[in-house]
Amino acid sequence: MTPGRHAHAVLVAGAGGVGKTTISAALAVAAARDGKRTLVVTVDPARRLADALGLSELGNQPTRVAGQRHLWGAMLDVTASWEAIVRRHAAVEVADRLEENPFFRAVADRFPAAQAYAAGEQMAEFIESGTWDVLIVDTPPAVGGIEFFLAPGRMRDLVGGRLLRWLTGAHIPARRTLYRITARPVLRLADTVLGGPLLEEIAEFLLDLRTLYDGLSHRARSIERHLRSAVTVVVTTAQPTPLREATRLFTELPVAAGRPDLVVFNRTLPEAWGAGGRLRAPGLPEATRRALRDNLKRWADESRRQRQARDELAGRFGVAMASLPWLEEAPISLQGLTRLLDAAEGLPLDRLGLIGTE
Ligand SMILES: Nc1ncnc2c1ncn2[C@@H]1O[C@H](COP(=O)(O)OP(=O)(O)OP(=O)(O)O)[C@@H](O)[C@H]1O
Ligand SMILES: [Mg+2]
């Protein structure tokens, strides 16, 4: 590859538990197998998958997957990412203070939007590093859907937003602004009632956060550009909640954010099951026959429901569809991931930019 070239990014989005991490890892295996220097950034993979990817002990620092020449893995460490973000965008003493601030830690560690933003910044860093041909981003569980794409804009709104302006006065903050916090008397009064310096500390935290505004809003725009030029893969199952989240990614994303390129239906049943079938098992007791018949019918219904959900999404949004079968054994090793890839239907690895020449 040309040194300094941006990595081709593939984002894997979708509701919780649908198989985002598994599919991210599988796509990364496919790209690496094709000789592309590939990094998969995942979040909290299942223990055995983490072991398979050599991620058990890891954080933001990419590490080569054992035995794989072209495959690296990293696991998003939100706290470390936020520390890096603050170091990048704030003056040293502000960064020191923020890192000490319990509210900062709480926000960075627990808020889904902060997690999504951290993942976005981390993604941008990796894309721009020029070290990889392909970057696969597994979106954080709490924000697997549309929130991931909205996070940069929201972060920009938060640090430049109305609440902060109200607290800090209209102008761009300098440390001295702290002493002019418009709302300070109110906060002090409330703190007296609450019996501690809670709100005042929060105000200081927000004020420090606001000094990040210039750097952060500039970065947020470049993250949005990366999100737009990335390929987006939406993972779903035929369950109502994942389907709703998948639909939102088509209907509620701002036009400027682009549009998903592929929907992957995961854990599908064989289509042939939808045809049902007659139970020919003479000699079985009637109760057993009934139970087996009910079972067959249930799986046939489920298979048809899946098919219908797939057709509906494809028809409504005119998007390419792929299916990954429900494997008997969960794909939590490199071999398992390869098996999943081999069993995939309609997975256009070339069009996703994962294999073949560019
Ligand atoms: N096609 C499949 N066949 C069988 N098991 C699967 C398949 N896809 C995923 N799984 C299993 O389903 C579980 C959930 O998958 P995974 O962790 O990839 O989902 P996720 O979308 O990343 O979840 P979260 O939102 O919690 O991060 C895992 O145990 C995984 O091994
Ligand atoms: Mg996951």
Residue 176 pLDDT > 50: no
Closest protein CA for atom 23 of ligand 1: 17
Phi and psi at residue 212, in whole multiples of 5°? -80, -5
* pLDDT tens-digit map of 37-56: 999 998 777 777 888 887 77
Q: Would you state the pLDDT for residue 113?
A: 78
Mean pLDDT, residues 86-98 taken together: 89
Higher pLDDT, 142 or 220: 220
Read off the pLDDT band of 182 (50, 70, 90). Answer: low
Q: Which of 132, 148, 109 is nearest to 37 (CA)?
A: 132
Sole residue written with tokens 């979708």? 14
- Reply yes or no on whether the pLDDT at 224 is more than 70: yes
| CB 18 less than 6 A from any atom of ligand 1 | yes
Mean pLDDT score across all residues of the chain = 85
CA–CA gap between residue 71 and residue 64 (Å, rounded): 6
Q: Which of 119, 104, 115 is nearest to 142 (CA)?
A: 115
Q: What percent of the chain has pLDDT over 70?
A: 87
Q: What is the pLDDT of residue 4?
A: 65
Say if residues 252 and 21 touch (Cβ distance below 8 Å).
Answer: no
Is any ligand 1 atom within 6 A of the Cβ of residue 206?
A: no
Report how far residue 11's alpha carbon sits from residue 26's, in angstroms, rounded to the nearest whole number: 13
Q: Reduce the DSSP state of residue 325 to 3 states and report it.
A: strand
Distance 18 CA to ligand 2 centre (A): 8
The residue-averaged pLDDT of 220-243 equals 94
pTM, two decimals, is: 0.87
144 pocket-lining for ligand 1 (C-beta < 6 Å):
yes
Task: Determine the distance separating the centroid of ligand 2 and the alpha carbon of 308, expressed in angstroms.
Answer: 26
Q: Does 46 sit in the ligand 1 pocket, CB within 6 Å? A: yes
pLDDT computed for residue 331 by the predictor: 93
Lowest mean pLDDT among 120-134, 165-179, 197-211: 165-179
CB count in 10 Å sphere of residue 212: 23
CA dist list (Å): 56 to 25, 110, 229: 14, 21, 31
Contact 168, 208 (CB under 8 A): no
Q: Would you say 142 and 14 are in contact if contact means Cβ atoms under 8 Å apart?
A: no
Atom index in ligand 1 nearest the CA of residue 16 equals 25
Strands 231-236 and 262-268: parallel
- Report CA-CA distances (Å) from 121 to 7, 60, 75: 14, 12, 14
Residue 236's nearest CA partner among 140, 309, 318, 133 is 309
User: Distance between CA 316 and CA 310 in Å, rounded?
Assistant: 10
* Sheet containing 38-42: order of strands: 63-64, 71-75, 38-42, 134-138, 8-14, 231-236, 262-268, 320-325
Question: Could you list which residues have their CB under 5 Å from ion ligand 2?
Answer: 20-21
Whether ligand 1 lies within 6 angstroms of the CB of 112 is answered as no
- Closest C-alpha to ligand 1, atom 11: 330
Q: How confident is the model at residue 262 (pLDDT cuts 50, 70, 90)?
A: very high
Cα–Cα distance list, 273 to 64, 302, 303, 343 (Å)? 41, 9, 6, 17
How many CA atoms lie less than 13 Å away from 219 in the CB half-sphere? 24
Mean per-residue pLDDT, 109-138: 90
**Structure confidence at residue 217 (pLDDT):** 85
Q: Place 116 in a pLDDT band, splitting at 50, 70 and 90.
A: confident
Closest listed ligand to the CA of 13: 1
Q: What is the pLDDT of residue 169?
A: 60
* Averaged pLDDT for residues 4-12: 92
| Shortest-distance atom of ligand 1 to CA 268 | 1
Between the CA of 342 and the centroid of ligand 1 the distance, in Å, is 17
The Cα–Cα gap between 214 and 233 comes to 31
- Name the token pair of 211: 């000094």
pLDDT for 272 equals 87
CA–centroid distance, 93 to ligand 2, in Å, is 36
Kindly report, residue by residue over 93-105, the tens digit of the pLDDT. Answer: 889 988 888 878 8
What is the Cα–Cα distance from 242 to 236, expressed in whole angstroms? 5
CB distance 267 to ligand 1 below 6 Å: yes
What atom of ligand 1 comes closest to residue 324's alpha carbon?
A: 1
* pLDDT higher than 80, residue 218: yes
- Mean pLDDT to the nearest integer, 201-230: 84
Cα–Cα–Cα angle for 226, 12, 306, rounded to 5 degrees: 140
